[in-house]
Structure 1
Amino acid sequence: MLDKIRPYIDLVSNNQNYRRLWLSQIISNFGDWFGILAVYALITKYSDSEFLLGLIIVVKMMSLASFSPFAGYITDRFNRRHLMIICDLLRGMIVLGLLLVVSYETLWLAYVLTALQMMLSAIFEPAKTSSIPNVTTEKELVDANVLSAASWSIIFTISMGIGGLATAGLGTDLVFIINAISYVLSAWFIYRAVIPQKKMDVAERKRTRNPLTGIKEGFQYLFRTHKVLRPTLAKGCFTMFLGALTYMLILVSEDVLMMGSVGLGLLYSARGVGTGIGPVIGRRIFNQESDWVRAMGFCMIFAGLMYSVVGLTTSLSIMLLFVFIAHAASGANWVMSTVLLQRRTPDTFRGRIFSTEWLLFTLAQSASVIMASWILENEWLTIQQAMVVFALGLSAAGMIWHFTITQQEEVYQINREDNEHFAAANRIEAE
């Protein structure tokens, strides 16, 4: 057992800069997930509308999406370490603003502050993900991403469980204060880290001084570089249906299990554990990076089938098991697509590529949640029926991925191998 986790222990022990970036992630993620149930509780306290509950998720996603292109430009042009520190401190101040939401009349403030928080996250997340290859070696990169995903899931599990209990026992105000403190601590660890970054050359900085030009060049690079475009689409295709499914877990806990925040904490904990274990399992099953794009399609099909079982049962234990398995597939998909993007994208474009990935992810998730909440608001389907429909849609998306994206990747891999063999033959002949 120790041999299996030794690479991760060595990475954290020996790589000081990654360790500080990783600790920053753990602390800020704890605050994020610890506080999210308090936001949900705030909305349900002053409104009983399923649509308004779904709307806060949509506001989060659309704020990320609308600001992502500009955020990517910023993270490629400016110092990412400085940007992450500023974003953390500002997010801490914004979270404290949620203390002002005290009635239905002030509920609008929760949506405005959440939008501002997510706009800052639109800068922070691609800056952080783009920085991981710069503080790790080629050999450490996969371990670093697996560890980040596993840490996210463990913190997600712990903080959602504790957050549900804290929201019910301590009240939302104290939860928001703890969330704000977590951002300050996160900023402190990033401040202590050294994060190298390849800067744009003088000509490129001059050419892209207009943000619209820089954003345009990022999109042009993505759409003409198909080996980068394919993994960029993975998270968006997955969450096109998974976003609605995770949203419906909130309603399943309320209306099917009748367990409120406690049930939601358990379901989201199962989600978190699965997300953490999935990349480790996926790495062992698909140990060749050349197979990862194909594996993404399989993960979609598998996760959809697992969630269809969740929609067909009323048993908490069965739900927990199959939510865990579904999100293991989701976690594997997440890490595989992230690593491929980090390897295949130059540093000076990496921020724009990851922000575009966030744009696609958030647009897909927003559309998914809007559609599910509207269906349920109008009572066209029950919660469980809607869950089965979206689950089967996810499996269908995986089948389409297999017959399109996977086929294109296989052609790329064949051509790449042929070019490597040709280059090796030329070197031998030259010698």
Structure 2
Amino acid sequence: MLLKYLALLRYNHALARLSAVQLICYFGAWFSHTGIFTLLIELKAPVWALSLAAMMAFLPSIVLAPFNGIIIDKLPKRTLMLALMLTEALSVLALLLIDSLDFLWLLMALIFIRMGVGTLFFQTEMSLLPSLLAKPHLIIANEIHSMIFAFSYTAGMGLAGIFVHFYGIKASFLFDFALYCVGIFILFGTRFREPALQNAATGALKMFTQTFYYIKSKPVILHLIFLHALVGLFAYDTIVALLVDYEYKGILSVALAIGFLNTARAFALCVGPVLLSRFVSEKNMIYFLVFQGLCIMLWACLESNFYTSLLGIFLAAFFCNSIWSYTFTRLQNACDSAFYGRIVAYNDMVFFIVASLVASGVGLAFELGFSLMVITSFIGVLFILGSFYYAWVRHRYF
């Protein structure tokens, strides 16, 4: 099954180079991410500062979505992506200036800038793919992207802590900066056919209002955005943190317990698309959503024991990337090229709103006295309800 991914990368040099940039930058990002939180802990930052730093991962995708879409649809993609990567690299380098809590405001600003331009880079690339690939190849490219993210997450998170431990926080920032420089070099040498700029002369306000009229005229777009956001229901981080804190005490250190659970999850995100790709179809997606829900409910039954929980979280994540890739591909295919950037940006916004609500809702439900088994099971039920929603959308629009 890996052959079709390798064949596409070999056939499409632009996709291969863009995928290499993704791999390098995603991998390096976890080094500075680990360095930032290690720095905050070493500086004895208050809890609200740690929470604010974590929230910055979601905030740019939600706040900047209307502006990001307009920027993507108005500017040449290659030039924009180079400018974004350079900005992201410089924001990482600027982290070396933070040596006390007096610069906490600067740290938060740098995190916001970095996450903002990183999000815009991702949205630009995903809006570019439909013009680089034939429709049958688009879902394969999306699966490649999701597997690169999962692999980078697994390897990056695993190695970043070791790297910071032995070489220090500033070395992690410098290493990430060096990787961005490599990524910029690869991107600079990448050539691809730029899609026609259909909005270059259109005002930003007009583009903003056009988007709402466009979605109103094509309601399937909105339904596909909501279907894609179903994956955001599996915002598992809060559940993992609570399990480690309340269920797995004394088994392993907090860092190792979280690391093993995240590794099991990320491994499932990598192998899931490879094994399931041949079964992904419009007809079968309803079963994927049902199985996703059932697997999360199975994890709920297994999560009280750390070792069985590793199997549970693996199964709970097994269908995620296939659902993510399929729904994203349907959205790309349903969207007209003039609106790619704006629709991708709004799709990201809804996805992260759902993920944020689930992450905060899990904590609130736990505080109200609901067990983690009940909370996790409820998320599984939402996926099964999502399968009925998908069946309705498919019957009406596909």
The two structures have a TM-score, normalised by structure 1, of: 0.83
- Aligned partner letter, 1:30: F
> SS where residue 289 of structure 1 aligns?
coil
- Deviations along 1:317-341, whole A, 9 cap, x unmatched? 3232222222222212111112112
- Partner of 2:325 in structure 1? 335
Distance 1:101 1:299, change over 3 A: farther
Compute the displacement of 1:254 (Å).
Answer: 5.8
In structure 1, the partner of 2:270 is 276
Q: What CA deviation, in whole Å up to 9, does each residue of 1:38-66 have, x standing for no partner?
A: 23323333347655434322222012210
Q: Distance in 2 between matches of 1:237 and 1:381?
A: 25
1:265 aligns with 2:293: no
Is the CA contact (8 Å cut-off) linking 2:60 and 2:115 kept in structure 1? yes
Secondary structure, aligned partner of 1:221: helix
Matches within 5 A, 1:152-167: 152-167=149-164
Q: What pairs up with 1:18-167 in 2 under 5 angstroms?
A: 18-47=15-44, 52-167=49-164
Q: Deviations over 1:147-166 (max 9, x none)?
A: 22222222221111101222
Contact kept in structure 2, 1:253 and 1:261, CA below 8 Å:
no
Does residue 399 (structure 1) correspond to residue 384 (structure 2)? The answer is yes
In structure 2, distance between residues paired with 1:310 and 1:97? 44
Give the counterpart of 1:353 among 343, 364, 377: 343
1:186 aligns with 2:180: no
Aligned partner of 1:366 among 328, 346, 356: 356
The one-letter code matched in structure 2 to 1:236 is: A
Contact (CA 8 Å) 2:365, 2:375: kept in 1 or not?
no
Counterparts of 2:298 and 2:216, CA distance in 1 = 33
The correspondence for 1:234, drawn from 194, 207, 227, is: 227
CA–CA distance in structure 2, aligned partners of residues 254 and 42 of structure 1: 22
Shift of 1:296: 5.7
Aligned length: 395
Conserved 8 A contact 1:131-1:195: no
CA contact (8 A) 2:268 2:315 kept: yes
Please give the alpha-carbon distance, in whole angstroms, between the structure 1 residues aligned to 2:98 and 2:33. Answer: 15
> SS in structure 2 opposite 1:312?
coil
Deviations 1:282-336 (A, max 9, x none): 32333x23443x25632551353144246422x2x32322222222222121111
Q: 1:121 to 1:191 in 2, by over 3 A?
A: same
**Structure 1 SS opposite 2:190:** coil
Aligned to 2:373: 388
- Cα distance in 2 for residues equivalent to 1:104 and 1:374: 29
Contact 1:51/1:373 (8 A) holds in 2 = no
CA contact (8 A) 1:84 1:187 kept: no
Contact 1:164–1:265 (CA<8 Å) still a contact in 2?
no
- Structure 2 letter corresponding to 1:227: V
Q: What does 1:269-348 correspond to in 2, within 5 Å?
A: 269-286=263-280, 288-292=281-285, 294-295=286-287, 297-298=289-290, 300-309=292-301, 311-313=303-305, 315=306, 317-348=307-338
Structure 2 Cα separation of the partners of residues 143 and 101 of structure 1: 41
User: Does 2:237 align with 1:246?
Assistant: yes
The answer to whether the 8 Å contact 2:76/2:197 transfers is no
Select the residue among 6, 28, 32 that pairs with 1:9: 6
Distance verdict in 2 for CA 1:214–1:114, change over 3 Å = same
Summarize the Cα distance change of 1:224–1:43 in structure 2 as closer, same or farther, 3 Å threshold.
farther
Check conservation: 1:231, 1:340, Cα contact below 8 A.
Answer: yes
Residue identity opposite 1:411 in structure 2 = R
Q: 1:346 to 1:406 in 2, by over 3 A?
A: same
Report deviation, 1:127: 0.6
Return 5+ residue gaps in structure 2 as ranges.
none
- Equivalents in 1 of 2:254, 2:296: separation in Å? 25
Write the letter of the residue equivalent to 2:131: N
For residues 254-300 of structure 1, the C-alpha deviation after alignment (integer angstroms, 9 at most, x for no partner) is: 663542333333222222211122223332333x23443x2563255
Unaligned runs of 5+ residues in structure 1 are 414-431
Q: Is the 8 A contact 1:35 1:175 kept in 2?
A: yes
Q: State the Cα RMSD in Å.
A: 2.6
State the alpha-carbon separation in 2 of the partners of residues 156 and 223 from structure 1.
37
Amino acid at match of 1:216: T
1:216 aligns with 2:209: yes
* 2:302–2:308 CA contact under 8 A, matched in 1: yes
Tell me, what secondary structure is at the counterpart of 1:234? helix
CA contact (8 A) 1:300 1:397 kept: no
The 1:248–1:318 alpha-carbon spacing in structure 2 relative to 1, beyond 3 Å, is: same
